[in-house]
């Protein structure tokens, strides 16, 4: 993984930046099948086309019940678009760590 720097506070959906300027959104989950926090501003549930890419990569950090690191995975923007799910209460998108998602994601650390 590249060295990452913390993004400016208040930057929507972007938590870190690479030296090449690639934007990373970072989410943490605790259980398989659990969902991430939501991603705002990435289209609506009405099929709105997304013109602007909000980030290049998502890093999902999975922690075990004892708070030890279990897994780190990386998804691209296109993978996010494929696997995202609409959270009707929050009116935004999130991701579930499913077998299908895991089979196509890049596992950075097991």
Provide the CA 80 distance to its chain's centre, in angstroms.
7
Can you give the residue range of the structural domain that contains 29? 4-109
Look at 35-39, 44-48, 50-54, 69-73 and tell me which has the smallest mean pLDDT.
Answer: 44-48
Full-model pTM: 0.87
SS3 105: coil
Each residue's pLDDT tens digit, 78-106:
999 999 999 999 989 999 988 899 999 99
Count of domains in the chain? 1
Distances (CA, A) of 71 to 40, 54, 62: 25, 24, 5
């Amino acid at each position: 993984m590249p060295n990452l720097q913390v993004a400016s506070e208040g930057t929507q959906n972007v938590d870190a930046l690479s030296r090449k300027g690639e934007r990373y959104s970072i989410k943490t989950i605790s259980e398989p099948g659990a969902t991430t926090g939501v991603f705002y501003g990435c289209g609506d549930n009405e099929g709105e086309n997304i013109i602007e890419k909000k980030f290049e990569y998502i890093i999902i950090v999975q922690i075990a019940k004892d708070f030890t690191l279990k897994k780190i995975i990386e998804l691209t923007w296109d993978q996010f678009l494929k696997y995202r799910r609409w959270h009707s209460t929050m009116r935004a998108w999130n991701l579930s760590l499913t077998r299908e998602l895991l089979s196509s994601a890049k596992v950075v650390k097991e």
